[in-house]
A and B are shown apart, each in its own frame.
Chain A
Amino acid sequence: MVGQKNLKADKDDLILVFGKGCLHAISGIDGEVLWRKDFASESIEVSHIIQSPEVIYVAGFVGSSKFYVYEVNAKSGELLKNNHVALPFATSGESLSVSGDKFVVLDDVRSKIVTIDINNGNINYNQKQVSDLIKDSSGQAVILPSKLPGLFALKINSQVLLIKVTNEGELVALDQIDNTAAFSNALSISEDQHVFAFVQYEDNKIQLSVKDVNDWNGALLKENLVIDHQRGNIEKIFINNYVRTDRSHGFRALMVMEDHSLLLVQQGEIVWSREDGLASVVDVTTSELPVEKEGVSVAKVEQNLFEWLKGHVLKLKGTLMIASAEEKIAIQKLRLRSSEKSKMTRDHNGFRKLLIVLTRAGKVFALHTGDGRIVWSTTLHALRKSEDCEHPVGLNIYQWQVPHHHALDENPSLLVIGRCGPSVTAPTVISFLDAYTGKELNSLSLAHTVARVIPLPYTDSTEQRLHLIIDVNKHAYLYPRTPEAIEILKREFSNIYWYSVETDNGVIRGHALKSNCIHEIVDEYCFVFRDLWSIVFPSESEKIIATVTRKSNEVVHTQAKVMTDHDVMYKYISKNILFVANAAPKASGEIGTATPEEATLVIYIIDTVTGRILHRMTHHGCQGPVHAVFSENWVVYHYFNLRAHRHEMSVIEVYDQSRADNKDIWKFVLGKHNLTSPISSYYRPEISAKSQSYFFTHSVKAIEVTSTAKGITSKQLLIGTIGDQVLALDKRFLDPRRTLNPSQAEKEEGIIPLTDSLPIISQSYITHSLKVEGLRGIVTVPAKLESTSLVFAYGVDLFFTQIAPSRTYDSLTEDFSYALLLLTIVALVAALFVTYVLSERKDLEEKWR
């Protein structure tokens, strides 16, 4: 879509908008569409629209070598003329408009520059070899997309050639700039003065230059500045001017860095910077903070003695009320830093943690849960843009080493997976980071691709977690690559199962390791795997739209669930359980594209070790998008009911029937119960599933469930709504045992009478009156305190809070009044004395009587 507007904002002007192959002329007065002209049938790739009072030229390529120009009447939108020229070679890349009616484009081998001139609808073109302009033209030439009047910039290797296009269409090389990073567009600062900026690298500094387009030799501005190399290269630069007190022009430059941060530079200094990379968080993990060390080292005290003194002087000033406004801010900062919440050590309740987030730009940030500050940030070296890795993206972040038993003195570390490009087959890099300092410990460019990473439930003697990386060629690779890891894997070789989902084919397969790879080079860390089972869904009636499994680190407190009638149900708790939602292919699109008759939603619960379908359910007249969360023995999912035209949420609870007959006391006495029999994933226990559905008002962006340290606390569902808020909904509302009229006993147990829709209580929005703009995901982490769960929601905004689903039953609330407690004790003691004295006196009186 190309938007074009006259620079002079005259009211009578047309605003031309091009979109979806159609040109619209919109009145600048009231926004009416005056006329429209459809170019969709012409198969032209419109790239330029030139506006003049009478006629409008619409220019672009058809294919890669035919250049077309259409002449359109500006008043009526009538097509006046069309003209085209066939170039004798194909072109490559975008064409760039140099001045009103001149364009430049490269040919397909990037050795010639073609200048196209449209003069009153007549097309002329010139061509010139790149080698005529520059001696060393061995590299790939690229036209930079900066809009400079009469000029264009051609990038070859790391050099940039500035080329002037004369009125006759001749190309003249103006200058050659080395080590250039970025060019800005031209900025008009007066009637006939256009300036532009560019940055160059110099050793470890960068040089920002602002030059006049017409006066090449003089530079209006030349500044050197140092930018943290963690930020990477400069991707883009924008300038803006201001008038200094001496009437000369000053310039500010806004730089967009490789890690997606923004810098504003003025007078050789960074005025401010923003970490906008945090808006594109792709994965989150957490890390514990270091354990508080007894005693403080002397060196640290000496280093901070001056700081310490200064802090105390400031505080003194604050208490004496003679601090200035600036000092007050400093005092606030000091208080915040020294406050319990933002300490850099582990706390007893486990509220303080580091949130490690990986952004799409491949930068890793550690955020403190206390105040959200950035503790450290690292741009991964392996994920920097380079020749071999043109579009690096961060994919996943895992806890690599979590020392708590054997290796307490070691720092925890993280595993980051990144890929050079959007396709699965792009080369992959992995990197290991220290979680406390952010230092990159090691990075590897993998010879294989990464389709999936499976953290295994085994750790080695240094508490490094074993990971299997599955590639696209059906090989599994073990990390860390140590003999010890191989030993552990060999021991557990037959206990490793996983599944893969092929959405396109509608197949789910179960896998197990088979043997070492057969390669020319022997790699004992590489394994081939075999298919154990596969479930093929009928492609004409079902399409996989969502799969969800349980979190591997979830803790379940008890398997037994006592019913109202003192009956015991046993939850079917298996880690190898998968929820699959399939929609009818016709209704797998968005809401509004299917009718209720053609939409069905089929739900499966599958055991991923045996491939057995534990439960299957069909929702007629329903469609996706499906958001689901699996926890313990239940799954909750959200979908759209087309018949009622409302969103619905359903719950399925799975119970183990094979243990259900253990309630007979005689069996216990005679020792015939099967409670001590080991639970194995190979068994096929009889199971039963209970289900119930409810209406839910809002569309949903993400669903999560709270997780606590021991799994005792009741659960809440965290629902990220379409309005970018996070709603905490008690799991009690999604309980298949809800009935219209619960009995007294059921009521006492806390079963809520059945209603057709789930209540939305506005006080239970954990975001309160805040919004997490562009919400994409919610992560919950247990705190050490059983009642509390930490919640992190990310999108464009980041949001963190701690919630207690059953209130803080194991600690006093924050607003607990210690003063009242003390007052009561004092009052009691006083009353004790008073009554003592009174009774003594009374005794005495009695005795005198």
Chain B
Amino acid sequence: MASFTKSLFLFLFIQFCFSILPSSFAQSPTPGSSDGYTIYGRVKIPSFGTKEFSLPAKVSNVKVILNGGQRVSFLRPDGYFSFHNVPAGTHLIEVAAKGYFFSPVRVDVSARNPGKIQAALTENRRGLSEFVLEPLKEEQYYEIREPFSIMSIVKSPMGLMMGFMLIVVFLMPKLMENMDPEEMKRAQEEMRNQGVPSLASLLPGAARSN
């Protein structure tokens, strides 16, 4: 459990920071305790309004996870979170919020230089000047069903088949009509000479007997 081992000074300092900056991060070694740094940050979820499939983001459902589940923190209503007693080193912070894709954040807590934290998004290696985590993108969990349209039926295999059939039924006789009657006669003659091509004649055995 997170314990309250930070000093009054620290609290005041943080309050001060928050009051002058819209958001900020700060950390400080805790006097008395050997390995206590505190990571402060803020999660900002832009309210995209009520999109069709995105559920309204509830701040209380957002989890901030340190080092793959070592510690879990929740957000205050204004989006701030903190981890106390974090040892110096390189840590990983992940934000789990339904409907949003957050990049994990690499957090370097410096031991030599107290008061120094460096944060960078691991997905795009972008450094953060202030510890404000914003979603990289919104997540759509559902595929949008194609609305019913006459085009989708026409484009479907069955629709194409029907279209082809219609073409054959109605357009082919028209094409025949447009042909020159003499040429037609010649073609028919030729066909008669060759004999009616049948399935049997296509088979190799039958062809030989011809």
Contacts and interface: CB of A to CB of B under 8 A. Distances in A.
Interface of A: 1, 17, 19-20, 22, 24, 26, 32-34, 36, 38, 590-593, 595, 625, 640, 642, 644-647, 697-699, 701, 721-725, 757, 760, 762-763, 765, 768-769, 771, 820-821, 824, 827-828, 831, 835
Contacts of A591: 67-68, 70, 91-92
A762 B8 contact: no
A722 B65 contact: yes
A644 B125 CA distance: 10
A33 B4 CA distance: 8
B6 A763 contact: no
Interface residues of B, number: 47
Interface string B51-66: 0010100000001011
A3 B120 CA distance: 37
Interface stretch (B98-106, B187-195, B198-206): B98-106
Given A26-B4, A592-B90, A763 B143 contact: yes
B11 A33 contact: yes
B8 A697 contact: no
A827 B162 contact: yes
Interface in B102-125: 103-104, 106, 122-123
Interface string B1-44: 10111111001100000000000000000001000000000000
A697 B104 contact: yes
B184 interface: no
6 contacts: A20-B3, A590-B70, A644-B122, A645-B122, A697-B122, A762-B101
Chain A contact residues: helix, strand, loop or mixed: mixed
Contacts of A590: 67-68, 70
A592 B99 CA distance: 28
Contacts of B48: none
B150 interface: no
A768 B4 contact: no
B96 interface: yes
A33 B142 contact: no
A593 B70 CA distance: 11
A820 B153 contact: yes
A382 B136 CA distance: 53
Given A19-B1, A22-B3, A723 B96 contact: yes
A769 B5 contact: no
B175 interface: no
Contacts of A725: 98
A697 B142 contact: no
Contact of B69 (A647, A722, A828): A722
A592 B70 contact: yes
B96 A646 contact: no
A839 B86 CA distance: 88
Contacts of A763: 140-143
B68 A640 contact: yes
Contacts of A723: 63, 94, 96-98
A828 B142 CA distance: 36
B103 A697 contact: yes
Given A33-B11, A590-B70, A827-B162, A765 B141 contact: yes
A762 B140 contact: yes
A771 B98 contact: yes
Closest 9 CB pairs of A and B: A723-B96, A762-B139, A699-B68, A591-B67, A768-B141, A592-B91, A645-B106, A19-B3, A769-B141
Contacts of B65: 699, 722
Given A33-B8, A699-B92, 18 more contacts: A20-B3, A20-B5, A22-B5, A24-B3, A33-B11, A590-B67, A591-B92, A592-B89, A593-B89, A645-B106, A722-B69, A762-B141, A763-B142, A769-B53, A771-B98, A820-B158, A827-B162, A831-B166
B179 interface: no
Contacts of B166: 831
Interface of B: 1, 3-8, 11-12, 32, 53, 55, 63, 65-70, 86-87, 89-92, 94, 96-99, 101, 103-104, 106, 122-123, 139-143, 153, 158, 162, 165-166, 169
A32 B11 contact: yes
Q: Which of B55, B166, B169 has the most CB of A within 10 A?
A: B169
Given A644-B122, A762-B139, A769 B98 contact: yes
A828 B159 CA distance: 11
A522 B152 CA distance: 77
A526 to B, nearest CB: 42
A646 B122 contact: yes
A831 B169 CA distance: 10
Contacts of A592: 66-67, 70, 86-87, 89-92
Contacts of B97: 723
A17 B3 CA distance: 9
Nearest to B12: A32
A723 B142 CA distance: 18
Contacts of A824: 158, 162
B63 to A, nearest CB: 7
A32 B8 CA distance: 7
Nearest to B63: A723
Given A593-B89, A724-B96, A762-B101, A17 B4 contact: yes
B86 to A, nearest CB: 8
A794 B12 CA distance: 44
Contacts of A828: 162
A36 B162 CA distance: 84
Nearest to B11: A32
Contacts of B94: 698-699, 722-723
Contact of A769 (B11, B66, B99): B99
Nearest to A624: B68
Nearest to B3: A19
B99 A19 contact: no
B89 A760 contact: no
Nearest to A760: B101
B193 to A, nearest CB: 24
Nearest to A828: B162
Nearest to A757: B123
Given A723-B63, A762-B139, A768-B142, A33 B6 contact: yes
Contacts of B169: 831, 835
A836 to B, nearest CB: 11
A806 to B, nearest CB: 17
Given A20-B3, A645-B106, A769 B55 contact: yes
A189 to B, nearest CB: 32
A808 to B, nearest CB: 15
B68 A722 contact: yes
Nearest to B97: A723
A19 B33 CA distance: 13
A831 B4 contact: no
Given A17-B4, A762-B141, A699 B69 contact: yes
Contact of A646 (B91, B104, B139): B104
A757 B103 CA distance: 13
A782 B122 CA distance: 37
Contacts of A835: 169
A722 B96 contact: yes
A38 B123 contact: no
